[in-house]
């Protein structure tokens, strides 16, 4: 049974089509890459399959049930990073990551280990005591991804995780996402990076501009 399925989802506002009907389905250990030009609807599709917005038509099913972002088991299953999250001004990077990991059930020492492992994987360990406002834009992007990876999940949804990153960091991100797929997570990314798509996609969906 697929862990995540979108059936003919579309989005319109008044007479304008933001996303033409599209379907996707994936199980654990699969990666779906959503591609398409600027404005073709990639972010809209990701927000729909994350349960953040309701489609105008069609439905999204997570683990056999209609998706509902307010349902705690949905939020436990799915980690999504679509745009930058809100950050706390007074928390360091490491404190943010421990806070998120603890919220999703890791004990104090396990949360520290998860935070350590996540910053090392993305090569931002030397920044662990910084505040977010003390980072470069690429470092913020890596930290934003870290907030999605540090917690347990079965489904990972990422919108253009390669944004603002150099080639070395794009490769780190690619390897980190690949590792999640290899351990059995289902992953959906929107991306303009051919390398990233090549590394993670078992299925590609290309959206056409409406
Ligand atoms: N709140 C909104 N109201 C009206 N139109 C919107 C809204 N949000 C997005 N759109 C429009 O919906 C279309 C799809 O936008 P979306 O952000 O999903 O595209 P995208 O494929 O992710 O683009 P990009 O590659 O530039 O990130 C665009 O034409 C955009 O202008």
**What average pLDDT does this structure show over 157-186?**
97
User: How does the average pLDDT of the chain come out, rounded?
Assistant: 96
Q: What is the pLDDT of residue 106?
A: 95
Q: What is the pLDDT of residue 209?
A: 77
**What average pLDDT does this structure show over 131-142?**
98
Asked if residue 21 has pLDDT above 80, the reply is yes
**What average pLDDT does this structure show over 13-40?**
96
φ, ψ dihedrals at 158, nearest 5°: -135, 130
Ligand 1 atom at minimum distance from 37 CA: 25
Asked if residue 70 has pLDDT above 80, the reply is yes
Q: Which residue, among 80, 87, 99, 91, has the nearest Cα to 156 in the 3D structure? A: 80
Asked if residue 210 has pLDDT above 90, the reply is no
Is the alpha carbon torsion for 189, 180, 184, 194 positive or negative? positive
Q: Can you state the angle between helices 137-149 and 167-182, rounded to 10 degrees?
A: 10
Structure tokens at 147: 């907030």
φ, ψ dihedrals at 189, nearest 5°: -125, 150
| C-alpha span between 67 and 60 (Å, rounded) | 6
Ligand 1 atom at minimum distance from 190 CA: 22
Atom 3, ligand 1: which residue's CA is nearest?
13
**What average pLDDT does this structure show over 37-63?**
97
Say if ligand 1 is within 6 A of residue 18 CB: yes
Q: Which residue, among 193, 190, 207, has the nearest Cα to 83 in the 3D structure? A: 190
Q: What is the pLDDT of residue 148?
A: 98
**What average pLDDT does this structure show over 136-151?**
98
Atom 29, ligand 1: which residue's CA is nearest?
39
- The ipTM of this complex is 0.95
| C-alpha span between 78 and 70 (Å, rounded) | 12
**What average pLDDT does this structure show over 126-150?**
98
Contact 171, 199 (CB under 8 A): no
Ligand 1 atom at minimum distance from 36 CA: 21
Asked if residue 139 has pLDDT above 90, the reply is yes
Asked if residue 50 has pLDDT above 80, the reply is yes
Q: Residue 72 — very low, low, confident or very high, per pLDDT cuts 50/70/90? A: very high
Which residues contact residue 33 at a Cβ distance below 8 angstroms, ignoring those fewer than 6 apart?
Answer: 189, 190, 191, 196, 197, 200, 201, 203, 204, 205
Angle (CA) 101 177 115, round 5°: 25
The DSSP secondary-structure symbol of 125 reads G
Say if ligand 1 is within 6 A of residue 39 CB: yes
Q: Which residue, among 173, 204, 209, 19, has the nearest Cα to 81 in the 3D structure? A: 173
For the chain, how long is the longest CA-to-CA vector? Answer: 53
């Amino acid at each position: 049974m697929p862990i995540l399925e979108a059936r003919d989802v579309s989005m319109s506002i008044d007479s304008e089509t933001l996303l033409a009907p599209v379907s996707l389905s994936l199980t654990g250990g699969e990666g779906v890459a959503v591609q398409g030009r600027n404005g073709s609807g990639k972010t809209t599709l990701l927000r729909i399959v994350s349960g953040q917005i309701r489609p105008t038509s069609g439905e999204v099913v997570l683990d056999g049930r209609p998706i509902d972002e307010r349902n705690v088991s949905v939020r436990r299953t799915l980690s999504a990073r679509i745009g930058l999250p809100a950050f706390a001004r007074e928390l360091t990077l490491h404190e943010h990551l421990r806070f998120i990991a603890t919220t999703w059930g890791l004990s104090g020492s396990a949360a520290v280990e998860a935070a350590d492992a996540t910053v090392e994987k993305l090569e931002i360990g030397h920044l662990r005591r910084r505040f977010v406002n003390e980072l470069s834009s690429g470092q913020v992007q890596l930290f934003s991804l870290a907030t999605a990876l540090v917690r347990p999940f079965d489904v990972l949804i990422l919108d253009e995780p390669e944004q603002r990153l150099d080639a070395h960091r794009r490769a780190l991100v690619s390897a980190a996402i690949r590792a999640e797929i290899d351990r059995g997570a289902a992953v959906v990314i929107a991306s303009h990076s051919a390398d990233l798509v090549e590394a993670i996609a078992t299925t590609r969906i290309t959206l056409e501009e409406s």
